[in-house]
Structure 1
């Protein structure tokens, strides 16, 4: 794999936020679902994902920067033969020290390799590349609004027909990617990973607002005037909510801990906006209002400047 910094298009000293931003931009652009007729985009998507996997791991990134592992996460040469110059036995002439000493002879003596024998010697034999891991496999998983908020486990079927229960991560949202290690294509160096992209389905009456959930709740005129308990749907099931007497349309009530799980660990709330629902044809109500002056000296539109 190419240098992961180059693959993501960031500088070597880039911050974690810059790396994550670059990855999200490229992943959105190259995702296989958006490039079904472009196999090169799918290949590039795998490269970008592998680069992000390495650089988002603080330990692996530090080891890569120190030259201890390569871009595939494999151990680098124990003698540091990386980068620009030719390695022993790899062409470009024989390796010599500052005083003209043939370093190939030294390595032959240390590791028992003979000139011209090709196979066993470190200095003269061709150094075999480490076995390659299998490719990553991308999946798209649609999750209901309620399941995403409550972090309910999701069952996903892999390409080999096996099923696995996936535990959703806190802060999950549409576009969140989760990695299942070793669940990708098999390979001589081990299986690749499964990359699962989450899509949270919209809801017919819930709306997400950050980690909170918003709901417009219709109430009757009697419930608004006199107050009382009403049943309210939440992502965890229905609960009873107390309506204060004299409530008006637009009043927001809060149900603690009925929202999405935040990355910091806390859970958001459900914000319930009351909407007084008047009947379209109610002669008794019409007669009452006609006989009621309703003039208490207030101007309910004063806040609008009129």
Structure 2
């Protein structure tokens, strides 16, 4: 594999966050879904995924960097040690580069000591992979199954729980990279992103909605239809309501982790009709009670 730093376009001193951001940008540009039948993009996508796999794991990154400092080519380091007889890859003891004056007996002793220690280690688990799944507001409320394509082009089904939150990460065990050492495969970590809704917003497990009402409905009170994430319901607007009045529809919010649901908070907004001459004529002759001051307390 070529230099993973060059593949991702980051400096050798890049932080883990910088490496992750570079990978996400390239993976989005080169993803097979965005480049159908483009073999060059598919090959670059595989190289970017392998480079990220090497640099996102602190241990494999350290091994790669050590190989570079020892003077080996871009393939050195993580799984790319010095050759052993006929080009076969084997464990390389970097202490050799600092102990050239020692005898061959000592060097081979180190080599087989390291090999024995390696064989006694439990097989390392495969690398985890990450992907983002964007769903709409109502789908997050109800939950359900969604398909997502992982880095590498493999599609899997994700069961999104009802009441999923923006930024929540779901773990699909065993859906990550295979282990090079014969261990268990890694996991797939799916980050949920929730698209904005035209009318609803979310505050914890509560759903918020601004509801326009007429002057007559606000002044005299009325029963009005209100949209909810479960469908429309009737709501009683109390007589004498002002803009900003908050009404609560219990149990009409998002599901919580405790098996309960939040509420829907409805904010009334009085909306006046345009160019209503009858209303204008009435208001020109109407005088409120002297005790009424809408700006009292300001």
TM-score (normalizing by structure 2): 0.59
Alignment of 1:216 with 2:210, yes or no, is yes
Q: Give the 3-state SS of the residue equivalent to 1:173 in structure 2.
A: coil
Distance 1:47 1:136, change over 3 A: farther
Give the distance between the partners of 1:253 and 1:44, measured in 2 at CA: 52
2:166 to 155, 164, 174: 174
Mapped to 2, the partners of 1:42 and 1:218 lie a distance apart of 52
Q: Is the 8 A contact 2:175 2:187 kept in 1?
A: yes
Q: Distance in 2 between matches of 1:295 and 1:28?
A: 65
Looking at structure 2, the residues matched to 29 and 263 of structure 1 have their Cα atoms a distance apart, in angstroms, of 34
Query: Is 1:164 the equivalent of 2:151?
Result: no
* Partner in structure 2 of residue 199 of structure 1: 193
Aligned to 2:229: 235
Q: Assess if the C-alpha contact under 8 Å between 1:154 and 1:168 holds in 2.
A: no
Match of 2:126 in 1: 134
Q: Which has the higher helix share?
A: 2
How far does residue 288 in structure 1 lie from its aligned partner after superposition? 1.1
Distance 2:231 2:54 in 1: 43
Give 1:230 deviation, angstroms.
1.3
Q: Quote the Cα distance in structure 1 between the aligned partners of 2:26 and 2:148.
A: 23
Distance change >3 Å, CA 45–CA 299, structure 1 → 2: farther
Superposition map of 1:248-267 within 5 A = 248-267=242-261
| Partner of residue 282 from structure 1, selected from 265, 276, 294 | 276
- The gaps in structure 2 that reach 5 residues or longer are 1-15, 30-47, 60-105
8 A Cα contact 1:215 1:270, kept in partner: yes
What is the aligned residue count?
210
- 8 Å CA contact retained: 2:175, 2:188: yes
Contact between 2:228 and 2:264, CA under 8 Å: does it hold in 1?
yes
What is the CA-CA distance between 1:284 and the residue it aligns to?
0.7
1:177 touches 1:198 (CA, 8 Å); kept in 2?
Answer: yes
1:1-306 → structure 2 map (5 Å cutoff): 30=20, 32-33=23-24, 43=54, 45=56, 128=119, 129-158=121-150, 159=152, 161-168=154-161, 172-187=164-179, 188-304=182-298
TM-score by length of 1: 0.58
Residue 97 (structure 1) aligns with: none
Q: What value does the CA root-mean-square deviation take over the aligned residues?
A: 3.5
5+ residue gaps in structure 1?
A: 1-25, 49-90, 95-117
In 2, Cα distance between equivalents of 1:211 and 1:28? 33
